[in-house]
Structure 1
């Protein structure tokens, strides 16, 4: 479509500061890629005026027991993944969260104004409580089995965001509660110390994400590093449903088939219903549907898989990217922390 007019400079949207993080543990799977990573790349490529900050959040991983050597390797691998999928360190700030101590400094200060009651209502804490109860077969939950880091995890997450005074955060449904807490903490700080400092971050939902809530269950078994033969094997083995004729989208009655349709829709960036309609009109069988999903997933992962192996084999480049990203992150956060210290009386 030709460009018919240009908006006056005064009407252009104000540049945003976008922050998001990813845990270093585990190779990303298809659900991660379609639900988050591809959206990060789209944000980078389609919003040249925004400040984009993406972090591998190593400190968050410590809420669960970690093998130090494996964690160190996972940190490097996750950075390699971010670069392999298309994030550009010349355009976006990409760094290890644990390379910037100001994250934990701000988390301590914010933790001192955050009621524990709010933290105990967080989903992450309640989930671990439930797991603790089931593991011990006790009639009541034993909170003593859970570490303090798990309770204060959401405060560190808020510090990650507020340290860069992010205006927008890409989130999925499972992270909405954490973002709301970040907004509450920012508002509490601003009101407590009278002079506003932090913007209240807004959720940035990926409009192209069409995957249903159940879709990640099927896709989580397909890793970014899986070779074509393994991808084909996993999709062939995916459970569909007992209805042998026709393809239809029905997450309740036909969750397996619906997951496969959701994957196709997310890859094509279209509505699930339109994919289901196309498959039905083509009289596809479940075998046909699995074959198409296999081809599309393999094509989607072909380039980033090869890039991951290439970048992973260049530790010097990874170290350079991590160092330069951390320097940029510290430069921004130092300005924030200077003002935070002044407001709380620690300057």
Structure 2
């Protein structure tokens, strides 16, 4: 019975809860529950691949090689995608493309649970429970709702003009993200640095929900930071690479041909500084971005890459990036093409992933309801 779980809950998270998967000291605990998700924006670009999905693949393979008693869970976060208006036919296609991209980028569905968020209704159920103990002030401090609503970073819900233009779903996005993580009692969540703020909130909400339940039912999850620095736009290296960028030369997709890759890299913005190649994200963001791409592909620190290329001309650096990228993207491009032609396989993978996810999710909801007196 769950009553035996009741004990004094923790009210503080004083331990270090952020780790880098590149840290040589990092070890995956044998009983770890690794979970993450990505929105269905369609075919993955280089940032999605190097900054997220390949980390998922690496973690999955490590768990398999080390024979740990753990099965990672990765979802297509389609409920999150509707915080902004979507066209139904486009969303269906992008969901399929996102699932195919995850697999094409190396995540083995035989070793990880892959599913669509919307096929597990317990996400929405737990979201309501968590929302009931989430202070609006905590959501007000988040930055993503402001950027997506085209508001300044200093905007506040206390401002009637700001409040009038914000949809509830966009504001409450972090509570659903917390529900996603806590639903599987996740212990480790691999994300990029831009999601670290939301994971910090998730940890706070885990503690608050445990208070509500009067037990340490939910683990306080660790944030696993992706080892790759943010991949930036090739045409404006002051912002991250994004599918929504209207400039086609700003991004590289896993489906791009060798010719496309070469064209985009050769036209990438660098700078007019002469002399040695240096890594300076502030003064030389274009060059720094190219070095970051090589570093991510080779899984070596930028400092090591710099030792190899510091005497290169810019055209030589670009040529090296093209060489590395065309080799790296070939496998994902071919796998993606095959998967998109095989609806039956993708449907089977998502169905099996959903069934496994719901086994865990339904138990969590049952436990939470019992602890709240709703059984």
Cα shift readout 1:227-258 (whole Å, capped 9, x = no counterpart): 11111111011011102333121222221111
In structure 2, the residue matched to 1:313 is 341
Determine the C-alpha separation between the residues in 2 that align with 1:32 and 1:339.
Answer: 35
Q: Offset of 1:344 from its aligned partner?
A: 1.7
Tell whether 2:81 aligns with 1:61.
yes
From 107, 126, 130, the equivalent of 1:106 is: 126
Counterpart residue number, 2:50: 34
**Is 1:82 matched up with 2:102?**
yes
Tell me the CA shift for residue 301 of structure 1. 0.6
Aligned residue number for residue 221 of structure 1 = 251
Distance change in 2, residues 1:256/1:103 (3 Å): same
SS of 1:131's partner is: coil
Matched, 1:96 2:109: no
Deviation at 1:304, TM superposition (A): 0.6
CA distance, structure 1, for counterparts of residue 239 and residue 97 of structure 2: 22
Q: Is the 8 A contact 1:103 1:159 kept in 2?
A: yes
Report the CA distance between 1:177 and its aligned residue. 1.4
Tell me which of 326, 329, 332 is aligned to 2:360.
332
Displacement of 1:128 in angstroms is: 3.6
Distance 2:152 2:282 in 1: 30
Q: Does the aligned pair in 2 maintain the 1:30–1:222 contact within 8 Å?
A: yes
Give yes or no for the alignment of 1:346 onto 2:366.
no
Q: Does 1:153 align with 2:153?
A: no
Deviations 1:109-158, CA, capped at 9 Å, x for gaps: 11111111111111112324543899xxxx97432122110011100000
Asked if structure 2 preserves the Cα contact closer than 8 Å seen for 1:94 and 1:325, the reply is yes
Hey, what does 2:6 align to over in structure 1? none
C-alpha displacement of 1:15: 1.9
Give the 3-state SS of the residue equivalent to 2:151 in structure 1: helix
CA RMSD of aligned residues (A): 2.2
The 1:211–1:277 alpha-carbon spacing in structure 2 relative to 1, beyond 3 Å, is farther
Q: Which runs of 5+ in 2 are unaligned?
A: 1-26, 243-249
CA distance change for structure 1 residues 316 and 21 in 2, over 3 Å: closer, same or farther?
same
Q: Does 1:251 align with 2:281?
A: yes
Any idea what the Cα deviations from partners look like across 1:10-65, whole Å, max 9, x if unmatched? x9943200000000113221122111111100000012313200000100000011
Cα distance in 1, alignment partners of residues 147 and 360 from structure 2: 34
> Which segment is superposed worse, 216-225 or 239-248?
216-225
- Kept in 2: contact 1:215–1:262 (CA 8 A): no
Which residue of structure 2 aligns with residue 6 of structure 1?
none
Corresponding residue for residue 277 of structure 1: 307
SS of the residue 1:47 aligns to? helix
Give the Cα–Cα distance (whole angstroms) in 2 for the partners of residues 263 and 211 of structure 1: 9
Greater helix proportion: 1
215-224 vs 17-26, which moves further: 215-224
Please give the alpha-carbon distance, in whole angstroms, between the structure 2 residues aligned to 1:98 and 1:249: 42
The alignment covers a number of residue pairs equal to 330
TM-score by length of 1: 0.90
> Counterparts of 1:107 and 1:234 in 2: how far apart (Å)?
42
